[in-house]
């Protein structure tokens, strides 16, 4: 991952000097770029830099930073960078309930744009990202409510040679081909590169808060569940292969144990995604048998020194184990899969730092 060679504050200062004298408040915000963050202030700076360097008209978009309970100086960073700049507008939002879905919901509820675009704090956008998303959503000939794009992996150092290509999806890689087209049911962009019409969020009520990462617990599925709901009401989602996001993969995630843990929690979320009304004991035992079966396959490939087959079968074993545990949690009516905080009083706080 390339380091920032120019301080973000200096970039903002240059933007402020170049700002035209026209009153930007008279212009409607077309798209809101939302970044949800939790204790990753150094990575966050790269994401913000890529957003303020967009080639889209700066008065027509805003940047919304949702601080999901950070304790690393995130608020101070945003406050210092927002001084002396009126476009693009930068808004700070604090969401105290821990979880990516809580943060993403706080983002669209606070945004002013008619389109909502999401990017993660460990990502950077190509300069034409926002412009391409808006172009698709503005096109009256395309009756689409959302548009997503590819996510390329930006490895910290060399890509691990033990990692099968099939497992890169667990690192948030998205590659749905080189053709710009409407997606069919079962094809999933990720929320970390997705723009959606604001009114659709109003209709659907946002993300399910019993899914999505909570702190360092990598339960996923909030993206898949939202996309399934969009398809279920007959709406179209577009894929633009030119709207590119780069996702940073740190050394800490380039470990086999991280991938296996990610697969376990991915499997644990599947009963919620399936919207099961009844948990079958038979299905629990089936998933436990599959766990053991693929564990034996893993051990077999270890004797054959087929490293990538070991990883693939080990991952499938952990996915089945996670699903079995998720089913058991559902059977005993566990409060949430991630034991996330209760959703009592909202802790949403919105402000433009001064």
pLDDT tens track of the chain, all 354 residues? 443 434 555 544 544 444 443 444 457 999 999 999 999 988 999 999 999 999 999 999 999 999 999 988 888 888 877 665 667 889 999 999 999 999 999 999 999 999 999 999 999 999 999 999 999 999 877 789 999 999 999 999 999 999 999 999 999 999 999 999 999 988 999 999 999 999 998 889 899 988 888 877 888 888 899 999 999 999 999 999 999 999 999 999 999 999 999 999 999 988 888 877 788 899 999 999 999 999 999 999 999 999 999 999 999 999 999 999 999 988 887 444 444 443 433 344 444 443
Distance (Å, whole) CA 204 – CA 273: 16
Asked whether residue 65 is domain-assigned, the answer is: yes
Asked whether residue 346 is domain-assigned, the answer is: no
Q: Quick one: pLDDT at residue 85?
A: 61
Q: Quick one: pLDDT at residue 185?
A: 87
93 and 193 inside one domain: yes
268 and 149 inside one domain: no
Question: Which of 209, 239, 254 is the last residue in one of the domains?
Answer: 254
270 and 238 inside one domain: no
Q: Quick one: pLDDT at residue 215?
A: 77
Q: Quick one: pLDDT at residue 25?
A: 46
Per DSSP, helices labelled H in the chain are 8-18, 41-52, 74-82, 100-110, 129-138, 198-204, 222-232, 256-273, 281-303, 307-331
124 and 241 inside one domain: yes
Distance (Å, whole) CA 279 – CA 35: 36
User: Total domain count for the chain?
Assistant: 2
239: CATH? 3.90.550.10
By residue range, what is the domain housing residue 219? Answer: 8-254
80 and 137 inside one domain: yes
Distance (Å, whole) CA 110 – CA 17: 28
46 and 184 inside one domain: yes
Distance (Å, whole) CA 327 – CA 263: 16
Q: Quick one: pLDDT at residue 274?
A: 82
Contacts 24+ apart (CB under 8 A), 154-159: 154/1, 154/124, 154/246, 154/247, 154/248, 154/249, 155/1, 155/249, 155/254, 156/1, 156/248, 156/249, 156/250, 156/251, 156/254, 157/251, 157/254
Q: Quick one: pLDDT at residue 79?
A: 83
Distance (Å, whole) CA 8 – CA 12: 6
Q: How many CA atoms lie within 13 A of 195 on its CB side?
A: 29
Distance (Å, whole) CA 11 – CA 4: 11
266 and 217 inside one domain: no
Asked whether residue 18 is domain-assigned, the answer is: yes
Cis peptide before 5 (omega within 30 of 0): no
Q: Quick one: pLDDT at residue 347?
A: 41
Q: Quick one: pLDDT at residue 8?
A: 52
Distance (Å, whole) CA 4 – CA 126: 15
Q: How many whole angstroms from its chain centre is CA 280?
A: 32
186 and 278 inside one domain: no
132 and 69 inside one domain: yes
């Amino acid at each position: 991952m390339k380091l920032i060679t120019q301080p973000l504050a200096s970039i903002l200062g240059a933007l402020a000097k170049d700002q035209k004298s026209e009153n930007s408040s008279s212009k409607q915000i077309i798209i809101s770029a939302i970044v949800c963050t939790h204790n990753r202030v150094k990575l966050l700076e790269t994401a913000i830099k890529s957003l303020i360097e967009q080639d889209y008209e700066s008065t027509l978009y805003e940047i919304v930073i949702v601080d999901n309970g950070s304790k690393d100086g995130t608020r101070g960073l945003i406050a210092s960078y927002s001084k002396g700049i009126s476009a693009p507008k930068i808004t700070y939002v604090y969401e105290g309930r821990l979880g990516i879905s809580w943060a993403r919901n706080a983002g669209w509820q606070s945004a002013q744009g008619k389109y909502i675009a999401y990017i993660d704090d460990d990502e950077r956008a190509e300069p034409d990202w926002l412009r391409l998303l808006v172009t698709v959503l503005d096109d009256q000939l395309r009756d689409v409510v959302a548009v997503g794009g590819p996510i390329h992996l930006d490895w910290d150092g060399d890509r691990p040679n033990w990692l099968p290509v099939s497992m890169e999806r667990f690192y948030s890689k998205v590659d749905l081909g080189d053709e710009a087209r409407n997606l069919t049911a079962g094809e999933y962009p990720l929320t970390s590169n997705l723009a959606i019409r604001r009114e659709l969020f109003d209709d659907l009520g946002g993300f399910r808060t019993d899914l999505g990462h909570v702190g360092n617990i990598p339960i996923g599925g909030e993206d898949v569940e939202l996309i399934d709901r969009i398809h279920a009401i007959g709406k179209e989602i577009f894929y633009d292969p030119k709207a590119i996001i780069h996702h940073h993969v740190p050394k800490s995630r380039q470990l086999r144990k991280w991938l296996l843990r990610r697969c376990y929690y991915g499997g644990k979320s599947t009963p919620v995604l399936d919207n099961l009304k009844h948990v079958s004991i038979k299905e629990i035992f089936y998933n436990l048998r599959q766990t053991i079966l693929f564990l034996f396959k893993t051990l077999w490939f270890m004797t054959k020194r087929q490293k990538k087959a070991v990883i693939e079968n080990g991952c499938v074993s952990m996915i089945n184990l996670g699903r079995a545990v998720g089913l058991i949690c559902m059977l005993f009516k566990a409060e949430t899969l991630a034991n996330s905080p209760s959703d009592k009083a909202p802790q949403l706080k919105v402000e433009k730092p001064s």
